[in-house]
Structure 1
Amino acid sequence: MAYNPRDMDGFMPLLSTSDIKTKMTIGNNLISYLGNSDNSIECQDIGLFIDNVIPWLSNGNAKIVQNGLEILTQIADRMGSDFRPYISTIIQPTIDRLGDSKDVTREKARLVLLKIMERGSMTPQQLLDRLHPVFNHKNTKLREEALILLTTTLDEHGADEMALSAVIPSLVKVLSDPNEKVRETAVNTLVKIYTHVGERFKADLQRKHNVPQAKLQLLIERFEQVKADGDLLPSAMSNDVGREFDEPDRVLVAKSVPLKRTKSVLQKKSQFGPSTKVIPSSMGPAGAVDELTFEAAFNDVAIVNIFSSRDLEDQMKIIRETIGDDKKDWNQRTESLKKLRGIIKTVGTSHETFMELLKTIQNSMDGACTDLRSQVVKEACITLAFLSDQFKNKCANFIEGLLASLINLLQNSAKVVATSGAVALRIIFQNTHSPRFIPIIATSLSSKSKDIRRAACEYLSLILQNWSVNILQKHVKTLQEGIGKSIADSDSEARVFARKGYWTFKEHFPEQAEALLNSMDPSCKRTLMSQSNSGSMSSLPTSKIPGMPLRPPAARPTSSAVVRASPGLRSNSAIDLCAARRAHSRMLYANISRSKATTPRTAKPLDTVPVMSPERTPRTKTKYDSFVCSWEI
C-alpha cells in the first residue's frame, strides 16, 4: 500500500489505520504534503477528513498525538476563516491535550488554538469562554497551560477583544492553588492583565475580590514595578482611575456602531456599573508595537563577552541551532535573538568574520520571522531592525533575503506581528539603502492584500525621500511603473502615499515624471495636480489655443521664484491660469485701443454694413476653456 498519496482524498482512507508504524509514516507524509503551499487541500469532504484526524489526539503514542495536532494546525492555516465550521469538533480535544504530560504535546496544542485565532476562525472571547471552566480543572498541567494560553492571547490580541472581568474570580481563586507553579503562573497572568488594563484593574481587585492579603500585597508590588519600568500598554494609559474595571470590546464597539449613536452606546452601563470609554485612536490598538518599543529594545541590549574568533563562531552556531529549531521552547528562541543583538552591539563593524558568520543564520532568521509564536516574530523583527541600525548598508545582502518574509507579516491578523513587521521595515529602509530592495518593494505593489500594498506605497515614498539619486536611478523604470500603478490603487491611503511619492520622484527625475503624468488616467491626473505644490508647476501643460497662451511667456513665474518670494505658500499668479488669460486679453485690447487713438478716422458710407475687426472678434468661453481652467487649478 502507498503511504504517500498525491492528494487529500488519497490520505483519507489511511487516517483510520490502527498500526502505529503506519500511522506515524502517514502522519509525517501528510504534514509534509500540507506544508507545501502548492499542494491542494481540496477533497470530497474536508469535514470528514478532520473528523478522522480527531482520534489521533487521544492516541496512546505521544508522537501520533503530536502529528495530529500539527496536521490540524496546518489545515487551519491553509483554510483560514473557512475553518470556522469545524471549531466545535476540534476545540475540546485540543484543550484536553493542554494537560498532557509531554511538553511538546502541550506546546503543539497551544499552537493549534493560537493559529485558529490568528487566521480569524475563532475570536479571543470564544477561546476565553472555553478556557473559563479549565481554570478549576483537577489536572494541574491543564490549569497552568490555560493560564499561559490566556497570557499569550493577551500579548497577541490585546485585552479589548475579551470580557476579562468574568474570569477574574477564577484567577483569584487559582492564586491559592495547591501547586506552586500554578500559583506563580496565576500571578504572572494577573500582572499581564494589569499591563493592558491599568489602575482600574488594581482598584477592582482591592474592592470587589477577596484576594488574600499576602497575595494582594505581592500583586501590588508587581504592579508598581511594571508601572515604574514603563511597561504599561497604551490601553492602560487612562487617567480615569475611579472607573471600575470592565473589558467589553471598546475598540470594536466604536467601529461598529453608527456615528450618531456612538455616544449613547458607549455611555451604557456595564455589568460593573459605570460606563466605559473608547481608547483614542492616537494611542494605537492594543497589542500593537511602535517605534518606542523598538527603541527601548535597542537601548536594553546586554553586552556579550567575545574572547576570540573561535568563541564568536561557537556563539553564533548555538544561536543558529536554537532559533532555527521550532521544537525548542519559544522562550529559548527569544533569548537567543536577544543574545544576537548583544553580539551585534559587542562586535560592531570591527570584527571581520562576523558578516560571514551572519550569513550562516539567514535561514534560521527567516524561520523566526515566520514562526507561529508572535513573541519570536517580534524579537526577530527587533533584531533585524537593530542590525540595520548598527551596520547600515553593510548588512544589505543579509536583509535582502529576509525582506519578502518581513513584508508578508504586514497582512497578519495578530497586531503584534503585523506592527512589528511594519516598524522593522521602516527602520530598515531608513538605515540600509540598497538598489536590490526596490524590485522587491515594487512587487509588493501588486499584492492582493491592501495592507501590503499600502505599506509598500509608504516605503516607496520613504526611499524616494531618503535615498540618494545614484541608488534610485538604477531602477528608474521600476519606480516610474510602481508609482503609476499605485496612484490608481483601490486603497485610498495607498493612493495618498503614491501621490506624495510622485512629487519626490519628479524632483529627482523630471522627464520620467512628465512622461508618467502624460500617461495617467484623466481622473488620476486631475487629483494629482490638485494637490501639486509650487515646486511641481513645470509639469503643467501649455495651452494649444492659438493666440491665447495659458501663461504669458514674459510674465510666467518660475517655481523657484515662487518659492523664494513666499516660502511655503502658493502664488496666485503661478496657479490662476484663467486670470492670466484674462490679463493677456486686456493687454491685447489696450494695445488695439492705443493704436486706434493714433490712427486718423475715415468716413464710412451709410450703406456700408459695419464689420468688426478680426482683432476685435468677440470670443465666448468654450467648454474646453472651462475644462482647462478647472483642471489646471
Structure 2
Amino acid sequence: MFLKRISNTTPTVTRSDFLNAFDLFKPFEDISNAEIEQRVISINEQLINKATSWEVKSKLLEDLCCLLMSMNNHDAEALMRISPQWDQCLVDGPKEGRSSLVKVYCIAIGFFAYRLRASFLPVAERLLKNLFGLTQKRITIMASSGRVAIEFIFRYVQSSKLMESLPEFAKHKASEIRTEAVNAAIIIVQQWPSEIVKPHLKDFIPSFEHCIGDAGPTVRTSAKVLFKASESLLNEYQSHARTVKIYGTPARAPPTSRLPPPKTALRYRMPLSTEVTKSLTLSPPRQTIRPIMSMADAKARHLVTGSLQHLDTSRKTTIPLMSKPATNQKADALRRRTLFEARRTRSQIPVATGRRVSDVVIRTEKVKKIEADTLSATKSPVSLFSDPQASPPKSETKLLKAKVESLETRLNDMEKKLETVLHKNAELQQIVSSQVAHIALLEQRNAGDTPTKHNYSMPEESHC
C-alpha cells in the first residue's frame, strides 16, 4: 500500500520524504495520451466524491502521479490545457480532515510542480491559499506537508504571477503563514533566475519591510535573511538600471563600471555679442508714469485741504490723485459737490455746447460761492459742524450711568463699613468704662486699709 511505503518514524515531513515518494511512482506501459486524459478525468471525479474512502483516494492519487509519469513533457503540457476538467481534486485535497491523506495530496502536488514546472502555474495559483492554510494547523504532519509543498511550488514553478500574489500572504494575521510567505520570498531571491526577478524586484522586496518589525520572532528572523540575501541583487539591479538609463540598451554599455564625468553647462553656453551686452547695460531705467490732472480737477481735489498756494493756473500740473480725508461727512459732501460742479462748468463751454455766456457766468459764480463755503468750513470745522450744547451720544450716556451706579454701590459699601466700625467703637467704650470703674473700686479699698483675710488652713489629707 502506498501509505505504508511513504510512512516514516517522525511526524515531521521533509523534502527528502517527498523525493523518496517520487521514486515510487512508475509509469504505465502501452497507454495512449487519450486514455491518460480520460483516466485523469475519471480519477478527479472519484476524488471529489465524499463517499470515497481515504484508502481508495490514496491509491487514486498514486495512479494520478503514475499517469503523469507516463507522459512526455510535450504531452504533459497538452494535459494542462484541459486542467479545469481534473484539477479540482488537487485544489480541494488540502482541506481533507485525515492527516495521512493530506500528506499524500501534498506529495502529489509537489510531484506535479516538479514535473510540469511553469506549466503548472494555473493550478498552483489556486492551490496556494489552501496550502498556506495548512501551515497553521496544530497537527505536525499536515503543517509540515503544506510547508514542503509550498517549497516545491516556489522552487520549480517560476513565474512572476507568483511573485505578485506572495505579498498578500505576508500580511496575514497568522504568524505561521507570514513566516512561510517570507521563506518563499527567500527561495525566489536565491534560486530564481535574475531575468524573472529583476523587473519586479523594485516593488517585491519593499512589500516585506513590515516583516522586519513583526511580532512573531520567526517572521523577523526570516525577514532578516530575505533582506540580506536580496542586498546584492538590489545593488546589481540598481547598477543595471543606471547603465540602461545612461547608455540605452545593455548591449551598448561600457565594459567597466566607470562612467564619464557629466558635461557641465558652461561648455555649451553661447557667448553674448557686444551689441546685446550694450543693450542690456545701457538701457534706461523704467520711469513711473504719474497721472496728469487738469487745473480744475486739482482745485476741486484740494479745496478741502486748503493747499491751493502751490498750484499754477497757467499749465497742467502733476498731482497725486489721492487727497486728504475730510474732517467729517458734511465736509466730504461739500467736496464731492464742488468737484461735480467744477466738472460741469469745464464741460459746458459755450463753443462746445452752444449755450449763452451768461449761463456759464452764473454757474461759475455758484462754484466760487461753494468754494468759499468749503474753505470756511475747513478753517473752522469745530464751530460749523460741532454743537457744544448738543446732547452726548447714547454710548456716552450709558457709560456715565454705569459710572454713577458703580459709585453708588461703593458709597453704600462704605456706609455699611462705617456702621460696623461705630458699633465696635461703642462696645469698646463700654469695656473701657467698666474697667475704669473696677480700678476706682480697687483704689478705694487700698485707701481705707481694709485688712484682707488669708486662709492658711492646710488641705486635708486624702485617705486612699
The normalised TM-score by structure 1 is: 0.35
Greater RCO, CA 8 A, separation 6+: 2
| Structure of larger gyration radius | 2
